[in-house]
Structure 1
Amino acid sequence: MTTAPETTVPDAPPAVTGPAVFGSVAEGFEEVHEEFGRNLEERDELGGAFCAWWRGEKVVDIWGGTADSATGRPWEPGTKSLIFSGSKGIVAITLLVAVQKGLIDWDTPVAHYWPEFARHGKDRITLRQVMSYTAGLPGVRAPLGQDDITDPVAMARLIAEQAPEEDERAAGILYGPYTAGWIAGEVVRRVDGRSIDRFFAEEVAVPHGLDMAFGIRADRADEVAQLEYGAHFLEQYTGFFTSEDPMTQRIWQNPVPFPHEEMVWNRPERRTALIPAANVIGTARAISRLYAILAADSVRAPGEEHLLLSREVLDDARREYVRKTDPLIDIRMVYGGAGFRLRATPRDGVDGDSFGHDGGGGSAHLAWPGAGVGVSYITNRLIAVGPDDKRASSLLKALARAVTRLGA
């Protein structure tokens, strides 16, 4: 592909009224820029960034708004955000690299790598079941406080000591915010000796020059946007956070992931700790580039010799493993066996299947191999899922229309 001409967005606020959007878009992708501006002006956006690659070229790289409303710090090119469950997609990629290296196999019981995990009837549970939320291990049974979840080794130990859920609702998908990441992290630690964050850094992020990680060093904390609750975000969880159903309590109240009284994810220890399924921090540029590598036919970065994954390994991860409605959150989910959420991306004439993982509050991160697209949208204002939040969907739809117009 020849490099598309770029439309440069001003480095200073324009003289006309309206929100300032910075960065650049390639010719034909101007609608994405327009939708980003509407997010800031009409859709309760505080600050954010959107980056997309198409056929190995970066075609959208824009940002705007406020990174910290308390200080007025603006969103800048290197501003990072914590992506919540978008982290699960990064866990999946990390595990795929371990598969590529021959360290693990999806259908081998977890207990083969981690013998203590076999206790209480878990001896036949596979990593594929864990990552597709079909293992009956959506939460921890032992009572937890907010500080406890920053110790992944201790959390893995607690999971090893518990039995799977026996409730009939656990027969299909039963999604949980943390446990899959703790199990995956412990498996990586057992087979490789490195923690999952170090494994990802050394095998993926550093070789590909990606400014992202599980957590962040304390001396780089000022690069991270301050998170805020937005429209109806907390209200959507009221039933989960106040339920007297024991299984719901184990998953969504142990501890409550989004306490009313505090945005706990702005705590320094939440940023510097390792919470694999929830605290990946990075720029939209870095996350989108990682997914763009996965969207490429060669599964390597254009111009790079470092093979990330074989086509066989990635195709297995993209294959649908389960399609069920979670009985607690009442959302229909489609998962591959590696932990990616699978979705249909609208486009005529090509493979429209995308994979990745979105994050609580509105972020979105995915690869779209049929179109050769990798994309990431990060934000710091958390808005309720559904009709309240059209920010990511408006950007992705505009991107899809641009790719369709420009042709295969």
Structure 2
Amino acid sequence: MNEFPRGGVATHPFAEVNLAFRANFATGAEVGAAVCVYHRGRPVVDLWGGYADADRGDPWRADTLGVLASPTKSLVTGAALLLVDRGVLDLDAPIAEHWPEFAANGKGGITLRMVLSQRSGVVCLDHDPITNDKLRAHEPIVAALESARPEWEPDTAHGYHATTYGHLISELIRRCTGLTVGQFFAKEIANPLGLDCYIGLPTPDTAHLATMIECKAEELMAGADPGEIEELRDAATLTYRATMASMSQDPADPTVEEPSYGGLASAQSLARYFASFIGEVDCFRLTSPEITEQMRVVHSTGDCLVMLSPCTWGLGVQVSDSPVFPASAGLGTAFGFSGANGVFAFADPANDLAFAYIPNAGSEVMGSMDARIRRLIEATYRSIQKVR
């Protein structure tokens, strides 16, 4: 029997989010999960429940950390944009100005803006795939990026940088600061905000980690029948080469920096992080209003050359409208990131709102919004209407 949520609070008038959270458990869709909502820089919903393990023996706690998967890239985005705000990085300068070796094989004109908007074309590492050993060493992945070729003329199209995004930006940050993105994020963002949010977990023995239950995407990675998604069985396609053929098949190691999909966070910390994009959170604001406004501007839209489905990208984040980030759920003025494992986070400056949801029962759908997420988001926006 599924356990109803066991902890937390949803303040008035956000009680409807609590009802939606409970409904997710009542339908049998959850094993364990947490959801947190910030409004006007303060938490108004902070709920958790169920179990952190598939055997339902380890209760989910307020401090439980879940694997972020693709929303890890939103942490990387914040680190890069913080350096843009500080004048250390320029969105439109060639990356090769800081990292000369990156210019090889037609990459000399690629800019940070192109990477943030999924337009660089550098999406495949199938010539030298990521492994845990390479992640620990860091330099082999840098060398693989240097030898990579764009899969299309940079800035002429867009395709999801599923495996390369975090590593491209991490090395750019390292060239400018001496710190990898995980180290920079910990020092300059997580520490001042007081976040339980990591790209590479320094103290795994004292952290409470949720055991993530395979989502549809992970099942495909393990060899499940892809059904109608023929590209995920054809090694010659860009979809396969940029995903399955490029990323590690090793068991995840939480201590290793995997800046494209290996981040860890509690829902409370992830919501707090997104809140810092749109206003001060305990006197800390991550990005200036000018940079935040640029994040919301559509940089890429239409069918993704890698995932072959519609997506709309702002600057390092998803924006509406697409099946995974739909305006119909209320997200018309929001920006954020969705994960194939069900993790979802966003900020909405028009409503002074930030939201994070972390489950351990992976999503059963690919290319559209999970019903659990939609239920929670719609309840959040209905609640906002009562505040006005």
TM-score, length of structure 1 as denominator length: 0.84
**Superposed displacement of residue 203, structure 1:** 0.8
How many residue pairs were aligned?
A: 376
Write the mapping of 1:46-85 to structure 2, written as runs, cut at 5 A: 46-70=31-55, 72-85=57-70
Give the partner amino acid of 2:211: Q
- Correspondent of 1:198 among 183, 187, 190: 183
Matched, 1:371 2:351: yes
Distance 1:391 1:351, change over 3 A: closer
Distance 1:41 1:26, change over 3 A: same
Distance 1:232 1:357, change over 3 A: closer
Determine the structure 2 residue equivalent to 1:334.
Answer: 312
Distance 1:246 1:20, change over 3 A: closer
Determine the structure 1 residue equivalent to 2:373.
Answer: 392
Determine the structure 1 residue equivalent to 2:159.
Answer: 174
SS at the partner of 1:183? helix
Matched, 1:254 2:245: yes
Matched, 1:356 2:333: no
Determine the structure 2 residue equivalent to 1:133.
Answer: 118
Which one is further off, 84-93 or 39-48?
39-48
Aligned partners of 2:42 and 2:281 also within 8 Å: no
- Correspondent of 1:242 among 233, 236, 247: 233
Q: Could you report, residue by residue, the CA deviation over 1:247-290 in whole angstroms, capped at 9, with x for unpaired residues? A: 33321222466x6xxxx55x4x2x11111111111111111011
Distance 1:328 1:255, change over 3 A: closer
Give the partner amino acid of 1:318: R
Matched, 1:293 2:276: yes
Bigger fraction of residues in strand: 1
Structure 2, gaps ≥5 residues long: none
Q: Could you report, residue by residue, the CA deviation over 1:171-204 in whole angstroms, capped at 9, with x for unpaired residues? A: 4211132201111000000011111111111111
Distance 1:309 1:244, change over 3 A: closer
Distance 1:282 1:387, change over 3 A: closer
Distance 1:403 1:124, change over 3 A: same
Give the partner amino acid of 2:87: G
Matched, 1:155 2:141: yes
**Superposed displacement of residue 343, structure 1:** 2.3
Give the partner amino acid of 1:343: S
Distance 1:389 1:336, change over 3 A: closer
C-alpha distance in 1 between matches for 2:181 and 2:49:
32
Determine the structure 1 residue equivalent to 2:209.
Answer: 224
Write the mapping of 1:256-271 to structure 2, written as runs, cut at 5 A: 267=252, 269=253, 271=254
Determine the structure 1 residue equivalent to 2:94.
Answer: 109
Which one is further off, 55-64 or 67-76?
67-76
C-alpha distance in 2 between matches for 1:367 and 1:110:
28
C-alpha distance in 1 between matches for 2:262 and 2:200:
6
Determine the structure 2 residue equivalent to 1:274.
Answer: 257
Determine the structure 2 residue equivalent to 1:5.
Answer: none
Determine the structure 2 residue equivalent to 1:308.
Answer: 286
TM-score, length of structure 2 as denominator length: 0.89
**Superposed displacement of residue 372, structure 1:** 0.4
Which one is further off, 376-385 or 219-228?
219-228
Give the partner amino acid of 2:355: V
C-alpha distance in 2 between matches for 1:364 and 1:144:
27
Aligned partners of 1:172 and 1:324 also within 8 Å: no
Q: Could you report, residue by residue, the CA deviation over 1:359-389 in whole angstroms, capped at 9, with x for unpaired residues? A: 1211101111100001110011112236783
Determine the structure 2 residue equivalent to 1:284.
Answer: 267
Q: Which runs of 4+ in 1 moved over 4 A?
A: 168-171, 230-233, 344-348
- The two structures, once aligned, show a CA RMSD in angstroms of 2.7
Determine the structure 2 residue equivalent to 1:34.
Answer: 19
Aligned partners of 1:347 and 1:400 also within 8 Å: no
Structure 1, gaps ≥5 residues long: 1-16
Aligned partners of 2:277 and 2:285 also within 8 Å: no
Distance 1:401 1:326, change over 3 A: same
**Superposed displacement of residue 41, structure 1:** 2.1
Give the partner amino acid of 1:322: S
Aligned partners of 2:304 and 2:310 also within 8 Å: yes
Matched, 1:320 2:305: no
Q: Could you report, residue by residue, the CA deviation over 1:135-159 in whole angstroms, capped at 9, with x for unpaired residues? A: 1111114142643552443212111
Give the partner amino acid of 1:404: Q
Determine the structure 2 residue equivalent to 1:4.
Answer: none
Give the partner amino acid of 1:189: R
Aligned partners of 1:291 and 1:374 also within 8 Å: yes
Determine the structure 2 residue equivalent to 1:9.
Answer: none
Which has the higher Rg, Structure 1 or Structure 2? 1
C-alpha distance in 1 between matches for 2:179 and 2:18:
41
Aligned partners of 1:288 and 1:375 also within 8 Å: yes
